[in-house]
Amino acid sequence: MKNNPNSFLPLQGDYENLVVYKIARCIYAITYYFANTYLEKGDRTRDQMIQAARSGKQNIAEGSVDGSTSREMEIKLFNVARGSMHELKADYEDYLLCRGLCRWNRDDARAMQARRYCREHNRAEDYIEAVKKRTDETTANIVLTLLHQYDVLIVKLIEESKHHFLTEGGAKEEMSRARRQYRDGKR
């Protein structure tokens, strides 16, 4: 997205290139498959999981675009995205617990393999066919791995937004600064 160099509110919204957004797309795609495969129709958890995964993705998109006029809204929406993914994490952990399935610990060889794969793959297409060949336990643990990576990255994104707000201010401050510069340049 090209910005006018003289613009005081630069256009934002290049969220599709953010690694955290790409990971969110992976989480959503896997969760959609998982919920529709392993949870019964009518199970409230099924819809909740899909909605939480969707919210974790969509709020990054909305926050990225809204950030050009409201840094406050950007930070809030990124935090909503993070909260949604924590809700999803709890659902996957509950799924494993209630079915007597294994939640891989950090040192488990499967967990290390999943971390390596997830670090190198952030396209939803990389996961769709692969999870169809995996068990529900494995798929849930892969998503939990992705959710951990997502959380680390969304926290960094929130911190960058907070830093930008502290150093540059919000939209009103940017607009006032631009107006003063415009007036000073006309004299």
| Average pLDDT estimate for 34-53 | 96
**H helix count then E strand count, the chain:** 7, 0
What pLDDT, on a 0 to 100 scale, did the predictor assign at position 135?
97
| Average pLDDT estimate for 169-181 | 68
pLDDT digits (tens, 9 = 90+) for 102-149: 999 999 999 999 999 999 999 999 999 999 999 999 999 999 999 999
User: Rounded mean pLDDT of the chain?
Assistant: 89
pLDDT band of residue 70 (cuts 50, 70, 90) is: confident
What pLDDT, on a 0 to 100 scale, did the predictor assign at position 139?
98
Q: Is the separation of the CB atoms in 48 and 77 below 8 Å?
A: no
What pLDDT, on a 0 to 100 scale, did the predictor assign at position 179?
66
Q: Is the separation of the CB atoms in 142 and 127 below 8 Å?
A: yes
3-state helix, strand, coil in the chain (%, to 5): 75, 0, 25
Confidence check: pLDDT of 172 > 60: yes
More confident residue, 35 or 14: 35
What pLDDT, on a 0 to 100 scale, did the predictor assign at position 8?
53
Neighbours of 136 (CB within 10 A): 16
Q: Output the pTM of the full model.
A: 0.85
What pLDDT, on a 0 to 100 scale, did the predictor assign at position 170?
64
The one-letter amino acid code at 117 reads Y
Distance CA 140, CA 34 (A): 8
- Degrees (nearest 5) of the Cα angle 68, 74, 75? 140
